[in-house]
A and B are shown apart, each in its own frame.
Chain A
Amino acid sequence: MISANLSAIFYLVSGVLFILALRGLSSPETSRQGNFFGILGMIIAITVTFLSTGNFSTGFIFVLVFILVGGSIGAFIAYKIPMTAMPELVAGFHSLVGLAAVFVAISAFLNPEAFNLGLPGRIKLGSLIEMSIGAAVGAITFSGSVIAFLKLQGIMSGSPITFKGQHILNALILISIIILIYLLCITQSSNLFWILLGISFLIGFLLIIPIGGADMPVVISMLNSYSGWAAAGIGFTLENTALIITGALVGSSGAILSYIMCKGMNRSFFNVILGGFGATEETSNNSNKEQRPVKSGNADDAAFLMKNASSVIIVPGYGMAVAQAQHALREMVDTLKKNDIKVSYAIHPVAGRMPGHMNVLLAEANVPYDEVFELEEINNDFANADVAFVIGANDVTNPVAKTDPQSPIYGMPVLDVEKCKSVLFVKRSLSPGYAGIDNDLFYKENTLMLFADAKKMTEDITKNL
């Protein structure tokens, strides 16, 4: 048994180690060390908890058993999961954090003595407020993440589910959550506590169903943030510094990521919180489009163009990951590099289905990270490059975002692909991307469309090089 002061200091240490874990991610070289700090912080926090409870009875054995069971499931998933399924995994993990927060809150509500929070029915007011906020946010995180997970897995349709009065209903539920917390604090009634949990689950569900599949990057980041706030709420209840620090870190991290994703899609943060976005109406500019001529080519033409280039920029998008073309792509790039052609990759902030997803997919295909550039870093280079190879991306290259104020994506940052001497566009058909608008790039003089499956086309090009 160690004193409360000593354990508080150790919790602070583990909080600091968690900060260092995130700090490490500022560059790939330091990142592995950062992850190690994170693990160390976690070990310290868990050990200190054991020591401070000083309870090594039968219960302790069970705690270890449950840690081992959970841990092996987690480890198994971590080794098995394909990198394309990362968004689903993260959404699933968020739901677990949310649910764990709910369970801890329930446990504390039923047995407040174990946490020094008072007696059942006479819980300290401050603790009760913190507890109910933690539980409510946790419940929202849980049900929201479950919906996000189902949508990403394709079990649930990715199309937005909207109905009349949705916003009003959501607003009413949010208000009633606040009222319930207030009443709960006055009456300490366990029935109110259960109702609070119930409607929090409901609102999490309602907040995410109207959001379209293509907007998942924002949703995942948002839920990341929620899971942090839930942890912080529980941290206040338990008076635990490690949990408060971590909750704040994760909360702000998720918020920043959602902000970056929103910017990448030119949406306002408020728009996201309200939900219902992603319901892009099929506007008239789609129906009256005239047939415009496109140039299309085959693998031979593409290989010829690239062989005679001195620099090539690859623009990968989620379509590349769907077609599992990243390995074929890297082989093509290897062949190009053998011919002394300079190759770099341009990544749009919302390429892929979660922040940084495309970078992981490329890293998995052994693409060195110093050949991969973000939009701001590389956008000026398009003008000097000979060939842009767009594979599986669409809206993020559409010049309309810069030229046509009427367009729904106007103002969205896009890659200046059209400035390249020639553009190779791998795509299965001329169909519009997720934003539902035609891509002007298809019809440019210097664009050559390669209609094929991304993986097959890339392999064919490699053969012809």
Chain B
Amino acid sequence: MEIDPLIFRLSIFILSIFVGYYVVWSVTPSLHTPLMSVTNAISSVIIVGAIIAGLSGNFENVFNKSSIFGFLAIALAAINIFGGFLVTQRMLAMYKKKKKDK
């Protein structure tokens, strides 16, 4: 009997929760704010679904009832992707070590 592909996805999901659990515990508390902004950015990989939705229109009709929602989602996710990564970058650039010279 063949295994439903859903089971594979479920396995990936469950294992990723564990990976996330251990990886996030190893994040130093002083970087918890960048952690939140970067998780924000990466969860916007939902843009993948938005792009498929946006491209679902045909040649004559780029905007149909379904693709409009796709395009809106693309814009929202793009705000998050650019905003999230850039603001993380900006924060991380501020973390400096003590200068050795007095």
Q: Which chain A residues have a beta carbon within 8 Å of chain B's beta carbons?
A: 11, 14-15, 18-19, 21-23, 25-28, 31-32, 34-35, 38-39, 41-42, 45-46, 49-50, 53, 55, 57-60, 62-63, 66-75, 77-79, 81, 83, 86, 89-90, 93-94, 96-97, 99-101, 103-104, 106-108, 110-111, 113-115, 126, 220-221, 224, 227-228, 231-232, 234-254, 256-257, 260, 347, 349, 354-357, 359-360, 363-364, 366, 368-372, 374
Contact = CB atoms under 8 A, between A and B. Distances in A.
A104 B12 contact: no
A63 B6 contact: no
A111 B91 CA distance: 40
B53 A228 contact: no
Residue from B13, B52, B56, B99 whose CB has the most chain A CB atoms within 10 Å? B52
- Interface SS majority for chain B: helix
B45 A14 contact: yes
B82 to A, nearest CB: 3
Given A21-B38, A75-B83, A97-B43, 18 more contacts: A19-B23, A27-B28, A38-B85, A42-B41, A69-B78, A78-B90, A93-B37, A97-B44, A100-B80, A101-B46, A108-B49, A108-B66, A231-B43, A232-B13, A244-B16, A360-B91, A366-B96, A371-B98
A63 B17 contact: no
Contacts of A50: 51
A368 B102 CA distance: 13
A75 B42 contact: no
B85 A39 contact: yes
B52 to A, nearest CB: 6
Contacts of A260: 29, 32
Given A31-B95, A240-B48, A242-B45, A103 B35 contact: no
Given A66-B78, A246-B43, A364-B94, A25 B65 contact: no
A256 B24 contact: yes
A60 B54 CA distance: 8
Interface of B: 5-6, 9, 12-14, 16-17, 19-21, 23-57, 59, 62-67, 69-99
Given A22-B35, A26-B26, A49-B51, A71 B73 contact: no
Given A31-B92, A35-B89, A231-B45, A359 B30 contact: yes
19 contacts: A26-B28, A27-B28, A28-B30, A31-B95, A42-B42, A49-B51, A58-B62, A67-B74, A78-B83, A79-B86, A93-B80, A103-B69, A106-B66, A106-B69, A110-B66, A224-B40, A249-B19, A249-B24, A356-B29
Contacts, number: 380
Nearest to B66: A111
B34 A356 contact: yes
A42 B85 contact: yes
B73 A257 contact: no
A26 B26 CA distance: 6
A97 B46 contact: yes
A77 B79 contact: yes
Contacts of A49: 48, 51-52
Given A14-B45, A23-B23, A366-B96, A62 B71 contact: yes
Contacts of A18: 42, 45
Contacts of B5: 239
Nearest to A142: B76
A104 B84 contact: no
A265 B73 CA distance: 36
B42 A107 contact: no
Residue from B35, B49, B57, B85 whose CB has the most chain A CB atoms within 10 Å? B49
Which 5 pairs from chain A and chain B are nearest by CB?
A: A70-B78, A356-B32, A74-B83, A114-B56, A111-B66
B78 A71 contact: yes
A93 B28 contact: no
